[in-house]
Amino acid sequence: MLELVILRHGEPVGGPKYRGQTDDPLSEHGWRQMQAAVHGHGPWQQVVSSLLRRCLAFAGDLAARQNITIVTDPRLREISFGA
């Protein structure tokens, strides 16, 4: 059976606000949120991530710790909220 786990990124630097495609990294609090979200879960066979730093940094770290591949997919990018 295929199991798909979808995680939203943790809190980026600058606190909660609408960012759209602004590429803010995860804050220290955001890293802790993500670590707590995956604690006790897995193992996984693959990690797929957005190219945004707030997603990719943690996804890459998780994939490295699991010794699995990571794939980036530009379709997972946040939507734009307009001008």
Q: Which pLDDT tens digit goes with each residue over 20-78?
A: 778 899 999 999 999 999 999 989 999 999 999 999 999 999 999 999 999 999 998 87
Task: Look at residue 2 in the predicted model and tell me its pLDDT.
Answer: 85
Task: Look at residue 82 in the predicted model and tell me its pLDDT.
Answer: 64
Instruction: Give the span between the Cα atoms of 41 and 64, in whole angstroms.
Output: 15
Question: What one-character DSSP code corresponds to residue 16?
Answer: S
Residue 83 reports pLDDT greater than 80? no
Residue 70, judged by CB atoms within 10 A of its CB (0-12, 13-18, 19+), counts as middle
Contacts of 44 (CB under 8 A, 6+ apart): 5, 62, 66, 68
- Peptide bond preceding 12 in cis form (omega within 30 of 0): no
pTM of the model: 0.84
